[in-house]
Amino acid sequence: MHPSRDPHFAARHIEIDRPRRGGAHRRRTLLGSRHHPSPVSLRVPGRRSHAVNSATAFWRRRRTSSCGKLNPRFTAHSSSRRFLSPTPEHTVTTDRPNLLGLTPEELSDALGVHFRERGEPAFRSRQVARWLYEGDVRSVGDMTDLPLAERKALSGAFRVEEPEIDTVSISRDGTAKHLWELSGGEVVESVLIPAGRRLTLCISSQAGCALACRFCATGWSGFGRQLSPAEIVAQYRASARWARENGLGAVSNVVFMGMGEPLANRKAVFPALTILNRGYSLGARRITVSTVGVLPGIKALAERREQFRLALSLHAPTSELRRELIPLEQRYPLDQLMTALEEFNRGGGRRVTFEYTMIRGVNDDLSLLPPLANLALRVRAFVNLIPFNPIPYVDWKPSLRGRVRAFQSGLEAAGVAAAVREPRGRDIEAACGQLRAARRPDRAGPGRRLRGVSGPRPRSGPSAPL
């Protein structure tokens, strides 16, 4: 039974000793609630992840810059004037590629070479693929239909490794947020959102974000590093496993709306899309990629033949107002984005969604309805109206319910499909715009604790093309 549905889920603090490397121990705590479904945080013991996905020279050469050259050298700073220095995409490497980060084609090629060199039949590669995509194994040693000698040899050449689930927080409404501990000390969050027969997983693509949108807690936290394909896919695997084990059923939809800008990490996100679609058989129309408007990324996504959904974080129907909310508008203005969305629509069968966070007194004036409707009609976009979710860095409030409904009615009267996205997981800071991977004080590493930011906006300085 899902913990939030159990009326007898008792309040408790259970300390679990878990060995560290070198014999030291650390304690984990399980937290619950007794008589009312208040937020729950679960510290989950598991394996530590000490390496980020890397590749052998064999298949690394296969990944070209076809999805756009990426240079993650962004900087951002808070009121403490502490700059985040440029970081490489994958700061920790290993000689053993993580099988979770290989596309099905790369997996087949890499395993084919491995087993041919050992004189093994070609079907061994298919066995491994079945274990990964259907068997949900957590190590090469779990692939029990492989001979023991082959498992040992495979373990020496490859690995199956997921980031550790550090904490699970459960909302009153059943939403579950996972805090993931990555190699190098970074942390990210993902969110499971049950709604009727649907179970949507919101996953992260970066540790932090450099784009500094004013309404987003992730943007205020600055940029840490890019996630690897394996770290993105592992969020899906482990979250889906957790959902099954806790009675939520199968994940039906995946949205790249967690921490980070997905199209600023195309080198990892695009392979992850392929793996989820072709490896785990998740339909392309059930996968949505969100962006605040990375123009080269929109164009690159349009060139793919799969019908992945695209969500534009619009939040303002005019370029002038949008610049106040989204600094990237200065680089990729709205008129250029709309042209790119028209090209995206020409792919046929693709759906564009506008995300519109409604902030009281900022972007909810009724005079903004006509330009918003015109933009949506131009690309046949569905509009999600999202009441602003509070974050610690600004004093904004969500638009009044009556104003939100007036926007919805006005859009529908103009022929635009629109809906109000009710907040989910707001009490555990899991709602849209609230993810910031805040650690518990006793888990914060040096320099990793999120600092409060004063002033009207976060500041960032992207120093390279997105």
The DSSP symbol for 279 reads I
Q: Identity (one letter) of the amino acid at 326?
A: I
CA dihedral sign of residues 117, 122, 127, 129: positive
At 250, list the tokens: 């199968």
> What does the DSSP 8-state code read for residue 159?
B
From 181, 189, 355, 429, the catalytic residue: 189
From residue 408, alpha-carbon distances to 60, 87, 309, 311, 399 in Å are: 48, 42, 22, 18, 13
Q: Tell me the residue type at 220.
A: W
Query: Is residue 342 annotated as part of the catalytic site, yes or no?
Result: no
Contact 49, 67 (CB under 8 A): no
Report the SS3 class of residue 100. helix
Contacts of 237 (CB under 8 A, 6+ apart): 100, 136, 162
Compute the distance between CA of residue 464 and CA of residue 466 in angstroms, rounded to an integer.
6
> Which residue's entry shows tokens 């790249």?
256
Tell me, yes or no, if 231 is annotated catalytic.
no
Q: What three-state secondary structure class fits 130? A: helix
Cα–Cα distance measured from residue 443 to residue 381, given in angstroms and rounded to the nearest whole number: 42
Backbone φ, ψ for residue 455 (5° rounding) = 95, 170
Count of Cβ atoms closer than 10 Å to residue 303 Cβ: 11
Cβ atoms within 10 Å, residue 356? 26
Residue of 67, 202, 209, 432 marked catalytic: 432
- Which of 276, 265, 260 is CA-nearest to residue 300? 265
Backbone angles phi, psi at 200, to 5 degrees: -100, 135
Q: How many residues does the chain have?
A: 466
φ and ψ at residue 103, rounded to 5 degrees: -65, 160
Q: Which residues neighbour 302 within 8 Å (Cβ) at sequence distance 6 or greater?
A: 340, 343, 344, 346, 347
SS3 state of residue 439? coil
User: In sequence order, what are the beta bridge partners of 117?
Assistant: none
As annotated, the active-site residues are 189, 432
